[in-house]
Structure 1
Amino acid sequence: MADEKIPQFPEPYWRDGIDFPEFKQLDGDLETDVVIVGGGITGITAAYLLVNEGVRVALIDAGKLLNGTTGHTTAKITAQHDIIYDELISHFGINKARLYYEANTNALNFIKNTVNDLKIDCDFSEQDAHLYTTEEQSIQKIEKEFQAYQKLNIEGNIINEIPFDIKIYKGLVMKKQAQFHPLKYLTHLVKVIVDKGGYIFENTVAVNIERDENKATVLTRDGHRVTGNGVLSCSHFPFYEGTGFYSGRLHADRSYVLATKTNMDYPGGTYLSVDKPNRSIRFTPVDGENLLIIGGESHKSGQGVDTKEHYKALEKFAKDVFNLDHFDYRWSTQDLATLDKLPYVGEITSGVHNILIATGYRKWGMTNGTAAGLLLADMALNKENPYQTVYTPSRFYADPSLQKFFKENIDVAKHLIKGKLEVSNKYAEELANDEGGIVMVNGARKGAYRDTEGKLHIVDTTCTHVGCEVNWNDGERTWDCPCHGSRFSYTGEVIEGPAEKPLQKGDHTMLENLTSENSGY
């Protein structure tokens, strides 16, 4: 099992067998009512709501729809976001903690009602959500979280066991949560958007915004302009930061997922350990069987051990608990966390009414992303929304934001300096097929990957966002930035922002010299 070869380009189960609509690249200027940047759950939800109100919408995505964080989720629809409510009460008070719970519960109900109203076949089912600990020192965390549930009138209860071969010390259930197939759900909403006259453009990279009091224009990398009364930035990391300094207020985390078909009698429910490294368990029906989905191994993007080790750790867990040694799917995912763990949704800067953003879902994007779509649509329509103050990006609480602000930016500075000073004792010509890493080329630090056919790909390792040095991700064959989570393909193309420009590639002379000197590879 431990030596099972990891697929070269891991793809999530959710994308398997889905007939995705295709949309052309924007090839000219366009005027509309609202411009939406980002084709994940937030952008699509907001677009769906707005076209239903007769608003002209243009949605643009840098790549393909639903191929980012939304397409790589575990797809739990729940307001149980790990151990969070005791912390929210401590930092923000009972009222705001309750509003956060209500916003996510409202999002769950919106998805449920939309599935029923539109008769969407997306494997939606209600499931109780469970937190649990396998460590005695975490019992108090569970108990304090249960006390927070009671203060907030959340339906839940303490448990002492779960229906798997896992010894737990304590657990906590949140009743009547849910799960679904996110891409079956969202592709249906995309069809509604198009049928009602919404424009959608793929492979269209937004790089900047020009605005005045009445209009906002998105500028694309190809020089085209999309103008509307307002812009909704739903692009994961904000492609345009204004004066919000989001680079210093967000950090990126990665986690990993294994999935396999099984005929085991799954007992129902979704599960998440509060221990570190955490473990997530759920299922989804596939062709009369259950697809068991196991996730976890969270860490800061571009940092930590060889990423293949995270997959191996999940394999061991699956073997120990479920006696599984084969996996049909494996993939990783990335999401952003804010300083205080609540998403930023609303005006990009206080007083800027026609540029709205949504980011920082902390891997709970099915409900937070839907809640954000609902909020952004209301704000675009000048409607009141009770959750606006909870999510507003302009909020600042000294505890915990100030401490986290300094911690995150010290971490960025550390990696910026460390990367510049690091050298490698490995050379590009030493790489075997399907191997990558930091190497020295003509005395300079470079990134190199030799593909399965033996072709060498060399890139400059300086991230094109703020200049940190990227690291090799062996699990996905990508270059990942440890500062703000930008990710690049092995050829240097941008996979995930905030970077907008690709890594500089090695010149032909460099590649030819290395190839001729090492024709044996």
Structure 2
Amino acid sequence: MTKPLLLPESYWIASTEAPTHPPVEGRVEAQVAVVGGGIAGLCTAWEIARAGRSVAVIEAGRIVAGVTGNTTAKLTAQHGSIYAHLRDAFGPEAARHYADAQTGAVEHVAALASELGIDCEFERVPAFTYAEDESGVEALRDEAAAAREAGLDAEFTTETGLPFPVAGAVRVADQAQFHPRRFLLALAADLTARGGKIYEQSRVVELESEDGGHVLTVDGGSQVRCDEVVIATQFPVIDRLKLFARLTPHRELVVAAPIPESADPGGMYLTGEEHMRSVRTAPFGDGRRLLIVTGEAFTTGDPGTADRLERLTAWTAERFGATEIAYRWAAQDYTTSDRVPFIGALSGEDGVYVACGFGGWGMSNGVAAARLIADTMRGTPPAWAELFGPGRFHLLKEAGRLAASQGKVVKHLIGDRLGRPTPSDPDDLQRGEGAVMRVDGALRAVYRDEDGGLHTLSAACTHLGCVVGFNDAERTWECPCHGSRFSTRGAVLQGPAAAPLDRHPHE
């Protein structure tokens, strides 16, 4: 039986149309350049334009069509077990600062949607982190206490709107969910009305200092000259601090199915069990809601994506009776080694800011990043800015996660080159299959298309050389070290890689 593939568009992208914007041509000038057209980049650019400065957004693809266009769009201050972690690792004040940043982001989106008249399906709902196994209850009680101490309206409960029993849950009241594309496309329109510029299909490949400012070069050679620059690309494409060593990629699958309004569980839900399960709904019309289920978290490049998709689909049908899957897509993000995003000015780099490592919570963290960076540029950083500073390093608290992450990188840089599994011959590949194998003594990424043609590429990611793996549900090549993704023809789909996989003449 043929295994299901992910669809090329998320529900958010399929349900909205976006105007196109030109690429960078020649030499463009702005006071501030923002690299990345997702929620962090667009919100930052809007805040800067509102302050009266000229700003240019440079996006490698289309705005709100990358990570932000494939989110589950939970706008909440509840991020799993984050508050107990922050309290224990860095103290109660750190937990309060994190809560202030996230809560402020939720309220900021609500205020902007009202102020600009944006119809983005903004809904107030509670957020739950739950466990079905009794072994997880004690940790949930601790998280509820830590979240309350941090200032959230949090409580431990055994009552949820889920159609199955739970052993316990943390409930945080008055959170939100929305349609991210509708919100951000409206914000982009207001940005351009304020004089801001948006450039698409312009991948930044270099950043240089020039005459007290900065020059960004995009593929093709065009340039953007600016006084200050914000790198808001999920993973910093310009990485002067070598943050890549402290960022771990993870990818999650999403299925969405219409259900009756009467079956709406009435909130947003998350559990770390069963390789993570996240649940929310969205308006879908005709007395229905769209049930959106995310899960089966994995590292980019790991095998078995199609099997994961089957498991997530089966879980959705079993738990909610939702069998009419209308959309299937994937989401990707990075987690820092201390679980707090890197947001703010790069030390030793005058006028260079970064926003990345949102850990799967890009909606609130992206908005918080915009507020932090814009306020810092004005000389009035928020009280919680230091918590997110990208120059921080807590050796003892990060050592375990760093060692695990770097051990995995070494495995793929060195171990993957010592031996690969079968098939060992391109002729063994079926249509729609891809595998890394030795061809003429070198590791190659080989794919057989639906017409039977072979496409052979170098298996070394063009970022730092890790060996890529094949995603059989999306039919893409993915780097397990730093999350770069490529098409079966080698084109860059997602950075930090800026160059395509090298083609090999074997066909």
TM-score class, shorter-chain normalisation, is over 0.9
Once the 2 structures are TM-superposed, how far is the Cα of residue 40 of structure 1 from its aligned partner? 0.3
The answer to whether the aligner puts 1:293 opposite 2:292 as a matched pair is: yes
> What's the counterpart of residue 69 of structure 1?
67
Once the 2 structures are TM-superposed, how far is the Cα of residue 362 of structure 1 from its aligned partner? 0.2
> What's the counterpart of residue 417 of structure 2?
420
> What's the counterpart of residue 200 of structure 1?
198
The answer to whether the aligner puts 1:409 opposite 2:406 as a matched pair is: yes
Gaps of 5+ in 1: 512-521
Aligned length: 504
Whole-angstrom distance in 2 between the partners of 1:122 and 1:264: 19
Whole-angstrom distance in 2 between the partners of 1:389 and 1:213: 29
Match of 2:479 among 477, 481, 494: 481
The answer to whether the aligner puts 1:247 opposite 2:224 as a matched pair is: no
> What's the counterpart of residue 338 of structure 2?
340
> What's the counterpart of residue 230 of structure 2?
232
Q: Is the 8 A contact 2:6 2:330 kept in 1?
A: no
Letter in 2 for 1:372: A
Q: How does 1:277-316 map to 2 (within 5 A)?
A: 277-288=275-286, 289-303=288-302, 305-316=303-314
Deviations 1:324-345 (A, max 9, x none): 2220001111101101000000
> What's the counterpart of residue 488 of structure 2?
490
Once the 2 structures are TM-superposed, how far is the Cα of residue 175 of structure 1 from its aligned partner? 0.5
> What's the counterpart of residue 174 of structure 1?
172
Letter in 1 for 2:294: G
Q: Is the 8 A contact 1:122 1:180 kept in 2?
A: yes
> What's the counterpart of residue 43 of structure 1?
41
Deviations 1:232-272 (A, max 9, x none): 00011111111x11121111011111001122411411111
Whole-angstrom distance in 2 between the partners of 1:35 and 1:261: 40
Whole-angstrom distance in 2 between the partners of 1:269 and 1:17: 22
1:4–1:121 Cα change, 3 Å: farther
Letter in 2 for 1:164: L
Q: Is the 8 A contact 2:6 2:329 kept in 1?
A: no
The answer to whether the aligner puts 1:132 opposite 2:130 as a matched pair is: yes
Once the 2 structures are TM-superposed, how far is the Cα of residue 419 of structure 1 from its aligned partner? 1.5
Q: Is the 8 A contact 1:236 1:358 kept in 2?
A: yes
Query: Which piece of structure 1 moves more, 485-494 or 424-433?
Result: 424-433
Whole-angstrom distance in 2 between the partners of 1:314 and 1:144: 29
Q: Is the 8 A contact 1:44 1:189 kept in 2?
A: yes
Q: Is the 8 A contact 2:258 2:324 kept in 1?
A: no
Deviations 1:382-428 (A, max 9, x none): 33322210110111123322332232212211221121112343222
Q: Is the 8 A contact 1:40 1:66 kept in 2?
A: yes
> What's the counterpart of residue 52 of structure 1?
50
The answer to whether the aligner puts 1:331 opposite 2:340 as a matched pair is: no
> What's the counterpart of residue 440 of structure 2?
442
The answer to whether the aligner puts 1:261 opposite 2:251 as a matched pair is: no
Whole-angstrom distance in 1 between the partners of 2:116 and 2:396: 43
Q: Is the 8 A contact 1:347 1:355 kept in 2?
A: yes
Q: When the two structures are superposed, what TM-score results if normalisation uses the length of structure 1? A: 0.94
Deviations 1:126-146 (A, max 9, x none): 000011101111111101111
1:158–1:179 Cα change, 3 Å: same
Query: Which piece of structure 1 moves more, 435-444 or 169-178?
Result: 435-444
Deviations 1:175-204 (A, max 9, x none): 000000000000001101111211111111
Whole-angstrom distance in 1 between the partners of 2:179 and 2:460: 37
Whole-angstrom distance in 1 between the partners of 2:402 and 2:251: 20
Whole-angstrom distance in 1 between the partners of 2:483 and 2:76: 25
> What's the counterpart of residue 83 of structure 1?
81
Once the 2 structures are TM-superposed, how far is the Cα of residue 12 of structure 1 from its aligned partner? 0.8
Query: Which piece of structure 1 moves more, 461-470 or 425-434?
Result: 425-434
> What's the counterpart of residue 368 of structure 1?
365
Q: When the two structures are superposed, what TM-score results if normalisation uses the length of structure 2? A: 0.96
Query: Which piece of structure 1 moves more, 76-85 or 394-403?
Result: 394-403
Whole-angstrom distance in 2 between the partners of 1:276 and 1:214: 52
Whole-angstrom distance in 1 between the partners of 2:90 and 2:100: 15
Deviations 1:19-67 (A, max 9, x none): 1110111111111100110000011001111111211111101111112
Structure 2 SS opposite 1:260: strand
Structure 1 SS opposite 2:450: coil
Q: Is the 8 A contact 1:61 1:202 kept in 2?
A: yes
Q: Over the residues paired in the alignment, what is the CA RMSD in angstroms?
A: 1.5
Whole-angstrom distance in 1 between the partners of 2:165 and 2:211: 59
Q: Is the 8 A contact 1:6 1:475 kept in 2?
A: yes
Q: Is the 8 A contact 1:464 1:503 kept in 2?
A: yes
Gaps of 5+ in 2: none
Query: Which piece of structure 1 moves more, 379-388 or 49-58?
Result: 379-388
Once the 2 structures are TM-superposed, how far is the Cα of residue 357 of structure 1 from its aligned partner? 0.3
Whole-angstrom distance in 1 between the partners of 2:173 and 2:245: 36
Once the 2 structures are TM-superposed, how far is the Cα of residue 6 of structure 1 from its aligned partner? 1.9
Once the 2 structures are TM-superposed, how far is the Cα of residue 452 of structure 1 from its aligned partner? 2.1
> What's the counterpart of residue 144 of structure 1?
142
Once the 2 structures are TM-superposed, how far is the Cα of residue 161 of structure 1 from its aligned partner? 3.1
Letter in 2 for 1:331: W
Letter in 1 for 2:298: H
Letter in 1 for 2:237: F
> What's the counterpart of residue 504 of structure 2?
506
> What's the counterpart of residue 384 of structure 2?
387
Match of 2:208 among 207, 210, 233: 210
Whole-angstrom distance in 2 between the partners of 1:269 and 1:79: 14
1:178–1:8 Cα change, 3 Å: closer
